[in-house]
Amino acid sequence: MSAPDTNVKKQEKRHKGPLAGMLAVVIFAGVLLIALGAYIVYQGNEPRDAEEADIPAPVVDELSDTDGG
C-alpha cells in the first residue's frame, strides 16, 4: 500500500538534513581512506636495519666481509 497523500516538496524539505548527514559521513570516510593509503605508502616496505631484515645472521656476515678471503 502506498501513502494516499504524498507531497513531494514537503518530503524533500524533511529529508534534506538526514541526506546531508549521510553525504558528510561518506565524504569523511573517503578522507580517512585516502589518509590510510597515504600512511601505508609513506611507511614503505624497506627494512631500516639489517636486524629487521629477514636475512639470516651468517649471510649478513658474509655480505659485510670485504677483505676478499
Gap between the Cα atoms of 27 and 39, Å rounded: 18
- For 29-65, letters b (16+ CB in 10 Å) and e give eeeeeeeeeeeeeeeeeeeeeeeeeeeeeeeeeeeee
**Biggest CA-to-CA distance, the chain:** 94
User: Above 60 in pLDDT, residue 68?
Assistant: no
Read off the pTM: 0.54
Task: Specify whether the CB–CB gap between 60 and 50 falls below 8 A.
Answer: yes
Residue 10 confidence (pLDDT): 86
User: Above 60 in pLDDT, residue 35?
Assistant: yes
Q: What mean pLDDT is predicted for residues 21-48?
A: 91
Residues 6+ apart with CB under 8 A from 21: none
Residue 5 confidence (pLDDT): 76
Residue 65 confidence (pLDDT): 56
Q: What mean pLDDT is predicted for residues 1-29?
A: 88
